[in-house]
Amino acid sequence: MILVGVMIATLWGIGWVMGAPVRARLIMIGILMAGVMIIQLTLPQGHPLREATGSDPRLWLLLVAFAVAVWLYRRGLLWLRDRARPAPDEPASKTGTFGAAELSRYARQIVLREIGGPGQKALKDAKVLIVGAGGLGSPALQYLAGAGLGTIGVIDDDVVDGSNLARQVIHLDARIGDPKVFSAADAIRAQNPFVEVRPYNRRLTEEIATDLIAEYDLVLDGSDNFATRYMVNRVSARLGKPLIAAALTQWEGQISVYDPASGTPCYECVFPEAPDPALVPTCAEAGVLGPLPGVVGAIMAVEAIKAITGAGEGLRGRLMIYDALYAETRTIAVRPRADCPICGHSAPV
Ligand SMILES: [Zn+2]
């Protein structure tokens, strides 16, 4: 009996040292026990081998029965746990079809005639890049994630500052000092686990812009400087990607969809020259109303959804200006310029 116990311990120890899976070790011990049982049941009483492996087969039968009972109990528990766990929606989500939880989440939007099932599917399949996780990027990100946009990339090299929180409501007080894209990505994952969010904690430079923008179907520019706006416009126009760009000052915001591939102007057609930086006060100098980026960023999300689903009339060829102080909205027509260095006839091909 002691001999068999030592053999079991040795088999287990060898398996452990070799890193063999538990299942393999149990099979080896099972074979050993089967051998012991054969010896006990076939050899006559008093045989030295039978004596060495324990004299009474009933003791072994009891031990084996106990081991089988423990195994069956464990299997039963696992089976019950699997039955109690609801089927996850995640795999269905990855294959491009909607699970029940997703359908219920987007039900109010799917009911809209202009969106419907095909529009919701187009949103799920779409990839949008958001430049800037600040005032405009944050609400655009939140509403696009809420609406079921499949893949959202967000690029920014800034960290959350206490002075951001009055308007960049995606970021929490506890995240001050953290990179904005990671704070935003965590918020989006908590908001909608069906959305794939890709944070890029770096500045969008000319070197990486082409490769990055090429991965996406649509670009939303909520950056806070003219150099980035012109560069995003240049690269998006070259790649034929529609660009939704917005900007804010104090009480006023403006937004348009720039899509020269569809015969409408690019950003540089409408704003051919960046104003002298000395004459343009920054948000920090001029101030900005807290909810204003929320309004204009949400319009960016609306225009993105329309561009992806083909619903309604987008802001291609139109510039929308929202004046919060006087509660007025104006929309003016904008035209492509033949001499635009980016999209005009003289533009380099
Ligand atoms: Zn142009």
Place of tokens 């069906």: 194
Length of the chain in residues, anyone? 349
Ligand 1 geometric centre to CA of 230 (Å): 10
Ligand 1 geometric centre to CA of 308 (Å): 22
Ligand 1 geometric centre to CA of 333 (Å): 14
Spell out which residues have Cβ within 5 A of ligand 1, the ion.
Answer: 266, 268-269, 340, 342-343
Token digits of residue 146: 């809420």
Ligand 1 geometric centre to CA of 307 (Å): 19
In this prediction, residue 87 carries a pLDDT of 46
Ligand 1 geometric centre to CA of 225 (Å): 19
Map out the domains of the chain as residue ranges.
Answer: 2-84, 97-333
Q: Phi and psi of 179, rounded to 5°?
A: -60, 135
Token digits of residue 15: 């398996």
Ligand 1 geometric centre to CA of 340 (Å): 5
- pTM for the structure as a whole: 0.72
Ligand 1 geometric centre to CA of 79 (Å): 63
In this prediction, residue 349 carries a pLDDT of 52
Strands (E), the chain: 127-131, 151-155, 196-200, 218-221, 243-249, 252-258, 318-323, 328-333
Ligand 1 geometric centre to CA of 62 (Å): 87
Q: What is the pLDDT along the chain (349 residues), one digit of tens a residue?
A: 777 666 777 767 776 766 666 666 777 777 777 777 777 778 777 777 777 777 676 777 777 777 777 777 777 676 676 555 444 444 444 556 899 999 999 999 999 999 999 999 999 999 999 999 999 999 999 999 999 999 999 999 999 999 999 999 999 999 999 999 999 999 999 999 999 999 999 999 999 999 999 999 999 999 989 999 999 999 999 999 999 999 999 999 999 999 999 999 999 999 999 887 777 777 677 899 999 999 999 999 999 999 999 999 999 999 999 999 999 999 999 999 999 999 986 655 5
In 3-state terms, what secondary structure has residue 88? Answer: coil
Short-list 296, 288, 158, CA closest to 221: 296
Ligand 1 geometric centre to CA of 298 (Å): 25
In this prediction, residue 78 carries a pLDDT of 67
In this prediction, residue 31 carries a pLDDT of 76
Domain 97-333 has CATH 3.10.20.30: no
Ligand 1 geometric centre to CA of 207 (Å): 21
Ligand 1 geometric centre to CA of 258 (Å): 9
DSSP string computed for 223-283: -SSHHHHHHHHHHHHHHT--EEEEEEEBTEEEEEEE-GGGTS--HHHHS-SPPPTTTS--H
Ligand 1 geometric centre to CA of 265 (Å): 5
Short-list 319, 341, 334, 129, CA closest to 223: 129
Ligand 1 geometric centre to CA of 341 (Å): 7
Ligand 1 geometric centre to CA of 11 (Å): 76
Angstrom distances, CA of residue 299 to CA of 21, 148, 150: 56, 16, 19
Ligand 1 geometric centre to CA of 236 (Å): 11
